[in-house]
Amino acid sequence: MHVRQAIAILVAITGPLTAAAQLPSQPKFKIDPSNRTLTVMAEERVSVDPDLAIVHIGFESKVADAKTAYAEGARTSNAIVAALKQAGLPETAIRSESQRLESIDAKNHKFKLVQTWTVKSPPERAAEVLDIAVNAGATESGEIDWTVQDLRSLEDQALDHAAGRARSDAAVMAKASGAKLGAVLYLTNQVSGSSNLAALANYNNAAEFEVKADRFRAAPPLAIEPRKVSRTATVYAVFAIE
């Protein structure tokens, strides 16, 4: 597990005069000599190796009349799914995303069949799954989502780290000001994924094939390295100080 952290400390220690403190998007707190507080914001990011890869595969048939495009698409569709099953992937791991007979030239009654799937596999088999699909006829495939099966556990880890960091830094700040850290008066949190990093990971690991699959039959699978899965937790805490 890899943890990166960024900490921001906001300190509001009362003096003899009445003042007010407000966190962004948080309720106002009245601060006076009888209500001395210290406000802390802590952020922690937890990153782990993925234990699940979701490979996006699909194809487009040749442009033809509706009946021909559908028939060709059906053959390709069945060939791809059969190849994946033959490789040992369970039927429950293969899920259709979309399928449509698309009009290309309405005047001349030209169509193409388009179909896409998602295939779940262990991360170490992602490149193999992609290779199997392409060799079986997939022509538009390659995007891979790296994830973990227990995302809640990962989020809990990030939140635990952030909460612990908030208390730890609050204690340090209280001690530095000659005070003692008291009870938590207010606590809120937010957990999010690393959307920008996830998008970059998918882009870097994507291969959009728009040519005939038979060109790849003699080629080895792509060199694909799984990306870390991350969750970031932010904790806002208001502590009493004594």
- Domain boundary (115, 147, 179) is at 147
Check residue 133 and give its pLDDT: 96
Do 62 and 30 belong together in one domain? no
Report the domain count for the chain: 2
Question: pLDDT, tens digit, for every residue of 140-181?
Answer: 888 999 999 999 999 999 999 999 999 999 999 888 888 899
Residue 8 belongs to some domain of the structure: yes
Share of the chain above pLDDT 90, in %: 64
Are 57 and 143 a contacting pair, CB within 8 Å?
A: no
Q: Kindly list the strands in the beta sheet with 181-193, ordered across the sheet, starting from the edge strand earlier in the chain.
A: 2-10, 37-48, 229-241, 181-193
Check residue 200 and give its pLDDT: 35
Q: Which residues pair with 113 in a beta bridge?
A: 101
Residue 223 belongs to some domain of the structure: no
Do 66 and 104 belong together in one domain? yes
Residue 126 belongs to some domain of the structure: yes
End-to-end CA distance of the chain: 37
> Is pLDDT of 46 > 70?
yes
Do 57 and 93 belong together in one domain? yes
Q: What is the CATH number of the domain that holds 98?
A: 3.30.70.2970
Task: Report pTM.
Answer: 0.71
Check residue 208 and give its pLDDT: 37
Do 70 and 129 belong together in one domain? yes
Residue 205 belongs to some domain of the structure: no
CA 59 distance to own-chain centroid: 25
Check residue 95 and give its pLDDT: 96
Residue 217 belongs to some domain of the structure: no
Mean pLDDT of the chain: 80
> Residue 220 — pLDDT band, cuts 50, 70, 90?
confident
Cα(3)–Cα(1) distance, integer angstroms = 7
Look up the domain containing 74 and give its range. Answer: 52-147
* Closest listed residue to residue 134, CA positions, set 53, 208, 72: 208
> Residue 219 — pLDDT band, cuts 50, 70, 90?
low
> Is pLDDT of 111 > 50?
yes
Residue 170 belongs to some domain of the structure: yes
> Is pLDDT of 194 > 70?
no
Do 70 and 141 belong together in one domain? yes
